Structure 1
Amino acid sequence: MHSTTLHADNRAEVAAALAQDRLVVACLCAAWCGTCASYRAAFEELASRHPDKYFLWVDIEDHADLVGDLDVENFPTLLIQRHDHVAFFGTMLPDPNVAHRLVEAQAELSDEELARQAASTPERRQWQQECNLRALLG
């Protein structure tokens, strides 16, 4: 298995993984969502293409205590983060090639560029406050 699924009993392990120096790619979904169910295989394939990154599957209803304040409007929603900088938060077409290009583009950014982009718009500044998985799991 290339991605980790967040469970009540592995939150500490996930928090430790998020604290490492690597890009985190989280998919926020819901068990009842048919698109999410079909996207799971594509997410696993994406994870296998990026073994140096940490992939996390989060059922937003199972973990409403963790992600309850996140404004997930559609599924699947991807959250990409490195350190405390949320680089991307938004709905992703269920196409592994689109997600692959997005992950590649974010991975190429320096920490300085990520920090600059994180502060570049009101929406991105809001991501930093509301979508930081390290803070939510900490």
Structure 2
Amino acid sequence: MQPVTAQDGAPWRVVCLCAAWCGVCRQYEPEFLAIQEKFPQIRFSWVDVEDQEEIMGDVDVETFPTLLIGQGAQPLFFGPVLPQVKVLERLLTSLLQAPQEASGMPSEAVPLWQRIAAQ
């Protein structure tokens, strides 16, 4: 797999992959959506992995919450995070300050990102 790089000027997006039955997700959702105020240049989305199976395809999320973060057509981060808004804030600040190649990106991340971005 080829390395993925950030694209200057392309829009950023943060997608939280969760499930309605997950108590941790229900507690995290308001904080996740509220962080948009600190990062108005980023589009935030909440995807219920069970309600939106057509988007998820064969991707199996085992740990909630899992984030998919990307810029333009490329995912830059895909993985579970602690459900704490400060963790997300640090991750976003780091990515925005120095977008880097996404190494070790799971093979399913790019097609998932493309399906989500098409919405």
TM-score strictly above 0.5: yes
The number of residues matched between the two structures is: 109
In the other structure, the counterpart of 2:110 is 129
SS at match of 2:68: strand
SS at match of 2:26: helix
User: In structure 2, what is the Cα distance between the partners aligned to 1:41 and 1:93?
Assistant: 15
Structure 1 residues 37-52: aligned runs within 5 Å? 37-52=26-41
Deviations 1:5-63 (A, max 9, x none): xxxxxxxxxxxxxxx93110000111111000000111022112111100011111111
Q: Note the aligned Cα RMSD (angstroms).
A: 1.9
Q: Which has the higher contact order (CA 8 A, sep 6+)?
A: 2
Contact 1:89-1:127 at 8 Å conserved across structures = no
User: In structure 1, what is the Cα distance between the partners aligned to 2:109 and 2:64?
Assistant: 21
Aligned partner of 1:107 among 92, 96, 102:
96
In the other structure, the counterpart of 1:91 is 80
User: In structure 1, what is the Cα distance between the partners aligned to 2:71 and 2:60?
Assistant: 20
User: In structure 2, what is the Cα distance between the partners aligned to 1:35 and 1:108?
Assistant: 29
Unaligned runs of 5+ in 2: 1-8
Contact 1:76-1:91 at 8 Å conserved across structures = yes
Unaligned runs of 5+ in 1: 1-19
Moved over 6 A (4+): none
Relative to structure 1, the CA distance from residue 105 to residue 84 in structure 2 (aligned partners, 3 Å threshold; closer, same or farther) is: same
Aligned partner of 1:81 among 64, 70, 74:
70
Normalised to the residue count of structure 1, the TM-score between the two structures is 0.71
SS at match of 1:66: helix
* Percentage of matched positions with identical amino acids: 37
In the other structure, the counterpart of 1:63 is 52
